Structures are given as C-alpha cells and as structure tokens.
Amino acid sequence: MLPVAVQSAVESHLSLREGRTIIVTRIQAVTGGNISRAYQVVTPVGSYFLKYKERLDESPIRFEIEARGLDLLQLANGFRIPKVLAASDQKAASFLLLEFLEKGPLHPRSWFESGQALARQHRITQKKFGLDHDNFIGSLPQSNANHATWADFFVEERILPQLQMARDKQALTYDVVRKTERFCQVVPELFPQEQPALLHGDLWSGNFFVSLLGPAVFDPAVYFGHREMDIAMTNLFGGFGADFYTGYEENFPLEKNWKARQPFAQVYPLLVHTNLFGGGYVRDLLQIVKAFA
C-alpha cells in the first residue's frame, strides 16, 4: 500500500492536471530498482508509473533531478521516454509520477530501431562536456562540472571521485589504485576527439525495454559526454542484440576500433559498481587497468 501522504499528493497533482477530482482506484506493485518502491497507479483517466522512497534517510536520490534528466532526453527524439507528470522531494511525500508505458513484443527490427534511437539522441550536443547540474548514478552522486575536453571531464568528474570513494572504503588494493591513477594519465591518448553527446549515462539492459510505442529507456544519469560511454555500457552487462549496433552505425558511425576501446569506457561504471556492490567488479576493473603499470 502507498503511504497516505503519497497517495494524497498523487491525487492532488492529477486532479489539478485534469481540472477535476481524480481518485486512485487501484495500485499494483511492479518491478523497480533497489532504491525506490515502484507501482502502477490506476485511475479513471488512465494508468501511471509511480516511484516513491519508503525510507527517506537511506538515499540522497532526488526525484526532481531524475525528472530533469527524463525531460532532457525527451528533447532528443530518440528513445521513447516516459513523460514526467509530477516530481516531489518533500519529506512527507517524496515521489516521481510518470506516464505508464505498456511493454510490447520484441519484433525483428526492435534492436535495429533501438540503435537508431540512441544515435539520434547522441547527435544532441553542446559546447562543453558536462551538464548544468549534478545528478546521480544509482545512489551515488555524479558531478557534471563542465570541461572543454573529454579527457579532463572523464578523469576529474568520473574516475577520480569514484576512485577516492573506493579508496576511502578500502575497496581496492594499493596496486589497483596505482594502476587506475596511471590509466588516468593516458586517457587523452585513448579516446578519439568528438563533440559532446547527450548520454543516457546508465544504459544497461535493466534500464531499457520495448514499449508498445517503441524502444524506451528510463532511470537516466544524463550528461554530455563521449558517446562511446553509452555504447560500452550496453556491452558491460549484456542484453543488447547485434542489430542494435548495426542500427546505430547506420545513423551515426563510430570511430574505428571502438570495440577495442570499450574497456576504457567501462572503467567508470565498474568503479561505480565497486563502490555500490564490491565483489567481482574489482576483478573486472583490474583486468582493464592492469596494463597501466
């Protein structure tokens, strides 16, 4: 069941939107993340997707920040993005209310169309790498201070903060820390120069599905970065079909040898997962940075 304060706030937002009193008639739990509770909320005027924080002190996640990320992705004309209907970070009722997208079948062209959708999104650019506000990846803060070069942004705003966090937790050995620091020194040599691209930022298979309206994504960690970051993330945990990359390259070809560079882009999400979960992610990280003595 929803807390009374959350249900009341949702009904108030919907009533204001519709210009008449709207009452929630049914609530159905759906698959969500490990941070928030997730529900399908049914009303006489339609169904909605709702996330709310059951324990407000356990996570710094702000739904208003997540809503800004979803709104930004809406502008890209890429994936189908659930529309934001309301977002609140008030202690009494912290929630995110979205359009409910029905899951659809995976048809023969789904992966190809999904790759093309990401390519269209990546064509949205700005002058510098970063964003006009900070956000989160999972439950961890993500700094998006602007930098003129990808190497500076990647090292200063992505690798070093996560590396410091892992060091503080004693999650990494001295050897892994030293090799990762050495990796940072050679980052300018590893990635081809490109314009900043609008990234989803956490594009693994769990944040993607095919809706009745087309390929859809959610739970973003958006920023303007090197587009190979999103590509590498799709390959880190599997789940994306080969036609995804065919569709992408037909619309926005990647620089040669992009497959060989994927491990370098995966250092950041592996550090994030090390800080969140530890375990085998440390071994995966070492496999990448061990060449940087």
Quick check: 210 and 106 in contact, CB under 8 A?
A: yes
**Catalytic site residue 202?**
yes
The residues, any chain, with a CB within 8 Å of residue 271's CB and separated by 6 or more, are 159, 162, 163, 166, 180, 285
Angle at 276 between CA 258 and CA 49, to 5 degrees: 85
The residues, any chain, with a CB within 8 Å of residue 128's CB and separated by 6 or more, are 146, 147, 148, 196, 224
Quick check: 24 and 42 in contact, CB under 8 A?
A: yes
Active-site annotation holder among 134, 152, 202, 230 = 202
Two tokens at 74?
């809406």
Residue in 47, 21, 32 with CA at minimum distance from that of residue 99: 47
Two tokens at 105?
């079948």
C-alpha dist (Å) from residue 93 to 22, 34, 50, 84, 124: 18, 19, 12, 16, 34
The structure tokens 């609140």 sit at 88
CB atoms within 10 A of CB 238: 8
- Which residues are tagged catalytic? 202
